[in-house]
Amino acid sequence: MKGIICEEIGKFVYREDLPEPQLQAGEAIVRIRRIGICGTDLHAYRGNQPYFTYPRVLGHELSGTIEQIGDNPEGLRVGDQVSVIPYLHCGECRACLSGKTNCCQKMRVFGVHLDGGMRERVALPVQNLLKTEGLTLDQAAMLEPLAIGAHAVRRSGLGAGDQVLVIGAGPIGLGVMAMARYAGAKVIGMDVNDERLDFCREWAQVEHTVSALREPKEQLSKLTDGNFLPYVIDSTGNISSMEGAFGLVGHGGTLTYVGLVKGTITFSDPDFHAREMTVQGSRNATREDFERVLDAIRDGYIDVGSYITHRSGFKDMIGQFENWLKPESEVIKALVELD
């Protein structure tokens, strides 16, 4: 079986002798057709991904078709097109039993903690597959990154008519903006890159954009009559941005971190208490979030075609990957196609 292995930092190896997956009870064999390239994949390749071990088969933004499956409660059949929910939860810990499978104490992410989808076929639990009838393979592969945005929006608690600031216009931040707009919110997008801000207006159709490099607090004060924002979602994974976000939340407001940073975040306790702020994290996504994105795509709220800016064939990916790392390549989302 063909596959690509990240053998060590900065080195991919193409193989044609990988072992075929074996069908186990409660699982399905899925033929992989599309692989989205995530920030986690880029970090792993560069050696910046925490708690990562090599060699590793990357790939967790996946779509494909079922080749083998037994009787199952999901009603899935051979030939069904599916999207992969890559968060393998235990189902037994307190978080899982309370419905927060995205916070499983024994979480294993496909393509991160165990070998993922950069290969022709994989075995996965049936409960981690979502039928995507009516979607293209490209759209089905994009459910995962967009579901992270959907979860952040749901976690924030915002609703129709609410105003939200989304900081960071990378793939995750753009998904947050799109799903916030789908929820009926009035969205302000903020980033350091003017071209990304243009994309926010065109693709996510945000109401306003703010440059993080040109007195953002003053800009936001004018936009909100000095009240600032009831909801702020930071998707940057940047300490400076995440700490600065505290000053952009209005009294009684909520700050949600969907971006992750390996470090310590500090803030002014008097400011925090004066506003009675809520500060919370948003991790991964649940099946409910995947289904929410599926509905948004079917309803025409998300243009996946424009979200995907770069693509390659499977074997060609190794030669393209270094270019995708360069800022001048202006990658928003890269997609790998398997025949």
- Reported as a pLDDT band with limits 50, 70 and 90, residue 245 is very high
Kindly report the average pLDDT of the chain as a whole number: 96
Dig out the tokens for 75 from the structure.
């009603």
CA torsion sign for 258, 259, 263, 266 is negative
| H helix runs in the chain, sequence order | 39-46, 94-97, 137-141, 143-156, 171-182, 194-199, 216-223, 239-244, 269-274, 287-298, 304-307, 317-324
Q: Determine the average pLDDT of the residues in 176-203.
A: 97
User: In percent, how much of the chain has pLDDT > 70?
Assistant: 100
Q: Which residues of 245-265 are buried (b: 16+ CB within 10 A; e: fewer)?
A: bbebbbeebbbbbbbbeeeee
Quote the pLDDT of residue 319: 94
Q: Determine the average pLDDT of the residues in 50-76.
A: 94
| Residue (of 62, 80, 79) closest to 141 by Cα position | 62
C-alpha to C-alpha distance for 247 and 26, rounded to whole angstroms: 49
Helix, strand or coil for residue 313?
strand
Quote the pLDDT of residue 96: 96
Dig out the tokens for 191 from the structure.
């980033």
Quote the pLDDT of residue 134: 94
C-alpha to C-alpha distance for 43 and 104, rounded to whole angstroms: 23
Quote the pLDDT of residue 2: 97
Quote the pLDDT of residue 339: 84
Distances (CA, A) of 95 to 90, 91, 100, 170, 313: 10, 8, 5, 29, 39
Dig out the tokens for 193 from the structure.
């890159």
Interval 102-131: pLDDT, tens:
999 999 999 999 999 999 999 999 999 999
Q: Determine the average pLDDT of the residues in 74-94.
A: 96
Distances (CA, A) of 102 to 106, 281, 323: 10, 12, 32
Dig out the tokens for 296 from the structure.
């948004």
| Residue (of 321, 331, 326, 327) closest to 118 by Cα position | 321
Q: Determine the average pLDDT of the residues in 236-254.
A: 96
| Residue (of 272, 226, 221, 209) closest to 246 by Cα position | 272
DSSP state of 114: B
Q: Half-sphere exposure of residue 298, counting CA atoms within 13 Å on the CB side?
A: 10
| Residue (of 37, 111, 117) closest to 336 by Cα position | 37
DSSP state of 245: G
Is residue 335's pLDDT more than 90?
Answer: yes
Q: Determine the average pLDDT of the residues in 136-146.
A: 98
Q: Rounded to a whole number, what is the distance in angstroms from the first to the last CA of the chain?
A: 13
Contact 179, 155 (CB under 8 A): no
Q: Half-sphere exposure of residue 19, counting CA atoms within 13 Å on the CB side?
A: 5
Quote the pLDDT of residue 204: 96
Quote the pLDDT of residue 38: 92
Is residue 50's pLDDT more than 80?
Answer: no
Dig out the tokens for 80 from the structure.
């069904």
C-alpha to C-alpha distance for 338 and 120, rounded to whole angstroms: 8
Is residue 51's pLDDT more than 80?
Answer: no
C-alpha to C-alpha distance for 188 and 155, rounded to whole angstroms: 18
Q: Domains in the chain, please, with CATH?
A: 3-142+308-337 (3.90.180.10), 155-281 (3.40.50.720)
Dig out the tokens for 52 from the structure.
């990562």
Interval 17-47: pLDDT, tens:
999 999 999 999 999 999 999 988 998 999 8
Q: Determine the average pLDDT of the residues in 219-227.
A: 96
